[in-house]
Amino acid sequence: MALIHSFEKSGNTLFRYRGQIPVVLFILVIPVLYFTDTNWMDRNTYQILTGLAIAISILGFIVRAISIGTTPKGTSGRNTEQQVAEVLNQTGIYSMVRHPLYLGNYLMWIGIVVFTFNIYFILIVSLAYWLYYERIMFAEERFLERKFGNDYLDWSLKVPAFIPASKNYIKGKIPFSLITVLRREYSGFLATVLSYTFIDHLRYYFKTGTFEPLRFSTYALGVAIIITLILRTLKHSTKLLNESGRS
């Protein structure tokens, strides 16, 4: 099998299983936290690094929100079986970067990884993420090239794959929809808060040998769960979050 076909095949396979990555990170973070020494950190350093980690994850969420909230039905979906694209997005955030959702995912996850305070883990996860998603992006772009031909090729020559180029910005044709974001992103929001809470409690346990249930992260998780349940109920039991022409 030619490499180009091998890369595409493996990319499509990885695409179907990309949702399992957070589970792998949950497992890996346990030994990482156990062997990470944080005794050198004073309270100010801890707060600064924690704030940095959360800010990175928030930035990733914003990137995802802009991507999802400004694209039409048939794109930027949660499909797991195969590539889907009814139209080629070339404006808005897609005029600056070809894969904004994957960029948003990376920022959300690497923020969580930064919260482990382990530089080696940050580097390893960054490298692993790139190797994994490079195949997925390759397969996705092969699909788009076959479907949209020269329109895709012309766009891809001007727009970077992963690092945004603000100079290329073209105003989007579809207005931002907060309703779309609320309908589609509550699960990712909850998973992110859960990850921070898990790391916070696990680190405290490894450091003190005791479990303290009523930490600040616990309350934050409680709020996130309430928000998620409200949005999930609105999505499945009412029409308040329904929109025509949106995924």
Q: What is the pLDDT of residues 71-105, one digit of tens each?
A: 877 664 455 455 556 678 888 899 999 999 999 99
Cα angle 105, 132, 185 (rounded to 5 degrees) comes to: 20
Q: What is the mean pLDDT of residues 19-24?
A: 76
pTM: 0.89
Given a cut of 60, is residue 138 above it in pLDDT? yes
Given a cut of 70, is residue 167 above it in pLDDT? yes
Per-residue pLDDT, 52: 98
Candidate from 7-11, 29-33, 61-65, 92-96 with smallest mean pLDDT = 7-11
Locate 222 and state its tokens.
């409680």
Candidate from 70-74, 108-112, 201-205 with smallest mean pLDDT = 70-74
Counting residues of the chain whose pLDDT is more than 70, the rounded percentage is 90
DSSP string computed for 37-86: --TT--HHHHHHHHHHHHHHHHHHHHHHHHHHHT--TTSS----SS---S
Quick one: DSSP state of residue 119?
H
Q: What is the mean pLDDT of residues 206-214?
A: 92
Contact 152, 144 (CB under 8 A): yes
Average pLDDT, the chain: 88
Strand locations in 53-185 (E): none
